[in-house]
Amino acid sequence: MKKAHFSLDQDAALVLFEILQSDSPTDNADWVLVQDELVCALEKALTEPFSESYVEDLNAARVRLRQRARINPGVSDI
């Protein structure tokens, strides 16, 4: 099987992990399969989701991403 490779910085990976974990259920079987693959890959790459400070780490990552994107860092609704 051919693999697609891409890279994300740690902040983007952490926020993506949270978005994928909290995504509402869907009837689209293809999306569910891809979502599961992405979550598994991110679980292997990240330690933060298993940390006691996960919420703080996630919020800090969101702020840094917004700062880099020049979006209001005070908003926490990603």
- Domain spans of the chain, in order of start: 10-69
- Residues 21 and 24: their CA atoms lie apart, in Å, by 9
Give me the tens of pLDDT residue by residue for the chain, a chain 78 residues long: 888 888 999 999 999 999 998 866 778 888 888 899 999 999 999 999 999 999 999 999 999 999 988 866 555 554
Would you list the DSSP string of 1-55?
---------HHHHHHHHHHHHHPPP-S-HHHHHHHHHHHHHHHHH-SGGGSTTHH
- How high is the pLDDT of residue 74? 59
- Give the global pTM: 0.77
- How high is the pLDDT of residue 50? 92
- How high is the pLDDT of residue 24? 67
